[in-house]
Chain A
Amino acid sequence: MASNKTLVILKRELKSRLLSKAFIIMTLLIPVFLLGIFAFQNFLLSYESDSGTKLLVLTRSETMQNFVSKEIDSLVFVKNGYYKVLFDVTHATSVEQYITNRKPDLLGANLTGIIFIPDSALTNKKLKYYSTNPNNNTIFEKMRSPINRALVEMYFKDKQLKPEEISFARTNVDFEGFRVSKDEKIESEGYGNMIASFLFTFFLYFSLIMIGTMLMRSVVEEKASKIVEVLLSSIKASDLMIGKILGAAITGLLQMAIWMIPVVILISTSWFTLPQDFALKMDVSLILYFLYNYFVSLITFLGLFAAIGGMFDNDQDTQSAIWPVMMLIMIPFFIAITMPNNPDNAIAHIASFIPFASLIVMPARMTLISVPGWQVFLSSVINIMVMLVVFFVSGKIYRVGILMTGKKPSWGEIAKWLKYKG
């Protein structure tokens, strides 16, 4: 279908793109930017936003206070002063009375909150928390476990149990994830693939939008500057579009391949070793599939970008018309990045067969879990069919659109273009 002329266009596109500053800078910058995001997220997670919390733990007896304070005072964030925890015992008949007395402290900055452990906690484990911000989950998460341990210890104290038995009762359950796949042995799973799936999805997203926008701009430029008429006197519109899309797609593929080099080195050589928790459980065939899938995504979405570019002759109009295409990229992107919570959930499952979404969701799913071969095959078939349809429709719009200048066309007019011959 392509002619020699297509090659001329392809060559020019590659030359003007690969050597452009924008391409070189973005290719280097996006991984740095992503690593920055991960580092920032890590910083946010480790940052003690609740530093300076002052709590008062109120009990009905000194005995209980001793059990609780022993546990709490041994906590790291109490020892290093992030949390200040005071203890008090009240014998007043009504706790409310006590709280009322401490109200100025609670309303001021002296106390963040008061945790009241009634004696009944030894039977029903129900505590009370008094604060201006009574639903502070951060504090509950931090205090739940030590207080529980103290209560357990106190409860079993007189039950003549061995310390190991108490220790067992105190210990919470702990999950360790194991990946089960068809051909591999069962292995314990770290965070490596989760991070890889994030990275792949982000790469896909950034590169698609970047390469797509570049192509759209170049179509608008050719249209607005009327170069297209000279081009069309030498080359068929469809050949021109194929040349431009292939040029942009190869650029995108090359960019992705550059980004994948470190991943391939990590999984296929032993030059670098990641900590056990972050080890990557994948082989090169997944990367190859990922690149193949990305190429199909590029051709599909670039067709849409080219068609939008062909409709208008200035960047503003294209910006306002491109949002449906952006949605087609962004919705699956969000599905893909939230997937690590449960990669086999129904939405992810369905989305990996929905046209357009499949291109972005399936690779992330495959990175996280072992997807049956028939599913990969089916999604591939769907993707290629979608690609052909998009290419056909975009080609029609592009062909008519690139010669229409002046008036901004309505969607109704664009629909009519599909019926034009030639």
Chain B
Amino acid sequence: MGVLEVKNLRKNFDGVKAVDDVSFIVPEGAIYGLIGRNGAGKTTILRMIMNVFMPDSGEVLFNGDPAGEQFRERTGYLPEERGMYKKLKVLETILFFAELKGKTGKAVENEAIRFLKEFDLYDRRNSKIQELSKGNQQKIQFISTIIHDPDFIILDEPFSGLDPINTNLLKNIILEMKRRGKVIIFSTHLMEFAEKMCDHITLIEKGKVILSGNLSEIKTRFALRNITVAYDGDVSFLKNEPYVEHVEDFGKSIGIKVTDNKYVQDVLKSLLAHDVTIHSFMSNEITLHEIFVSLCGKDDVEVEIGGKSNG
């Protein structure tokens, strides 16, 4: 399969550092998450991996050599902004993208039909793309991304705009790919997906890598002295407790960092004493969301409302 290495990538747009010295290694057989809020530089990094943008400096290595034609041939790329020829028919669209990756013939056509059946779109194979619903168009685009049986699958914000059913469908396919030994790299600003699916993550903020590594190791590291509580009630008093180092309130859940592990029980007692209804209480546990907020300061949800940017 091979190892993909991103090394000291930099890219400026009109003097703005979109990507600033980004390095990470994608190990074999992993689901790799590139996370960060909108506009952090994720899309630019993925575009440089795919050679859509040339980096100002730095390189993308595949098994130690610059990732070139050969790497891209073995890669399926789903850009953030989806697009297909509106007037091309469904099956023709899939076969066109397969041909662009050098795959033609009966075998690939059978594969396309198999996918269409799996996605429940076989009877639409001769419809024009523009006649399909948005969700179905996304399915076709996804099939087009993986039709040539790539070893690497790069998905830019794959879950954005998907309804719950399609989200689930996509999730299962990604996991299935992983079982087949494929490497999946996806970017997302949705922490819960990254948390559930990724083996490794790289957290990008303002074009820089803030955190990178194995997700469970990261969580263990950050979980120490951390308590996550799902609750109802008023928890504002916590800030004033001497053993509380830091509080992040998410409304229905709260992340509390205590100065020492021995104070965990005191937090629980104190919450009960203040008549707070507790739905769950987990010590030495942290969500990716909490890690993200503690590192980047602000809650990403705020930023998300501001409209989309080019990642």
Contact = CB atoms under 8 A, between A and B. Distances in A.
Nearest to B53: A403
A227 B51 contact: no
A229 B100 contact: no
A217 to B, nearest CB: 12
Contacts of A406: 310
Contact of A233 (B72, B85, B87): B72
B84 to A, nearest CB: 6
Contact of A225 (B75, B84, B100): B84
Contacts of A228: 83
Given A225-B86, A226-B81, A226-B83, A234 B47 contact: no
Interface in A383-422: 403, 406, 421-422
Q: Which of B75, B82, B141 is most buried by chain A, counting CB atoms within 10 A of its CB?
A: B82
Given A8-B96, A8-B99, A12-B96, A233 B50 contact: yes
Interface string A223-250: 0011111111111000000000000000
Given A16-B87, A225-B84, A226-B79, A231 B54 contact: no
A233 B52 contact: yes
Interface of B: 47, 50-54, 72, 75, 77-79, 81-88, 96-97, 99-102, 141, 144, 310
A16 B53 CA distance: 28
Q: Which of A8, A16, A233, A422 is most buried by chain B, counting CB atoms within 10 A of its CB?
A: A233
A84 interface: no
A270 interface: no
Contacts of B97: 230, 234
A5 interface: yes
Contact of A230 (B83, B99, B310): B83
A351 B100 CA distance: 43
Nearest to A229: B79
Given A5-B100, A234-B101, A235-B100, A229 B84 contact: no
Contact of B83 (A8, A225, A233, A403): A225
A228 B83 CA distance: 8
Contacts of B79: 226, 229-230, 233
Nearest to A236: B51
A4 interface: yes
Contacts of B88: 16
Nearest to B86: A225
Contacts of A5: 100
Given A8-B100, A234-B72, A227 B54 contact: no
Contacts of A421: 54
Nearest to A230: B79
Question: Which size bracket describes the interface of A in this complex?
Answer: 20 to 34
A322 B281 CA distance: 66
8 contacts: A16-B87, A16-B88, A225-B86, A228-B83, A233-B51, A233-B79, A234-B72, A235-B100
Interface string A202-235: 0000000000000000000110011111111111
Contacts of B82: 226
Contacts of A232: 50-52
A229 to B, nearest CB: 4
A138 B35 CA distance: 83
A154 to B, nearest CB: 78
Interface in A256-276: none
Contact of A229 (B83, B101, B144): B83
Contacts of A231: 100
Interface in A314-362: none
Given A226-B83, A229-B81, A233-B75, A422 B100 contact: no
Contacts of A233: 50-52, 72, 75, 77, 79
B85 A227 contact: yes
Nearest to B145: A230
Nearest to B55: A422
A229 B80 CA distance: 9
Nearest to A20: B87
A406 B13 CA distance: 14
Contacts of A221: 85-86
B253 to A, nearest CB: 37
Given A229-B47, A230-B97, A230-B144, 18 more contacts: A4-B102, A8-B100, A16-B85, A16-B87, A16-B88, A225-B83, A225-B86, A226-B79, A226-B83, A227-B85, A230-B79, A230-B83, A233-B50, A234-B72, A234-B97, A235-B100, A403-B52, A422-B54
Contacts of A234: 72, 97, 100-101
Q: Which 4 A-B pairs have the closest CB atoms?
A: A422-B54, A226-B83, A226-B81, A225-B83
Contacts of B86: 221, 225
Contacts of B78: 230
Nearest to B129: A225
A150 B141 CA distance: 87
A226 B83 CA distance: 5
Contacts of B47: 229
Nearest to A240: B100
A31 B81 CA distance: 43
Nearest to A421: B54
Contacts of B77: 230, 233
Contact of B52 (A8, A222, A225, A229): A229
Contacts of A227: 83-85
A398 to B, nearest CB: 14
A89 B54 CA distance: 94
Nearest to B141: A230
Contacts of A222: 83
B88 to A, nearest CB: 8
Q: Which of B52, B82, B310 is most buried by chain A, counting CB atoms within 10 A of its CB?
A: B52
A234 to B, nearest CB: 4
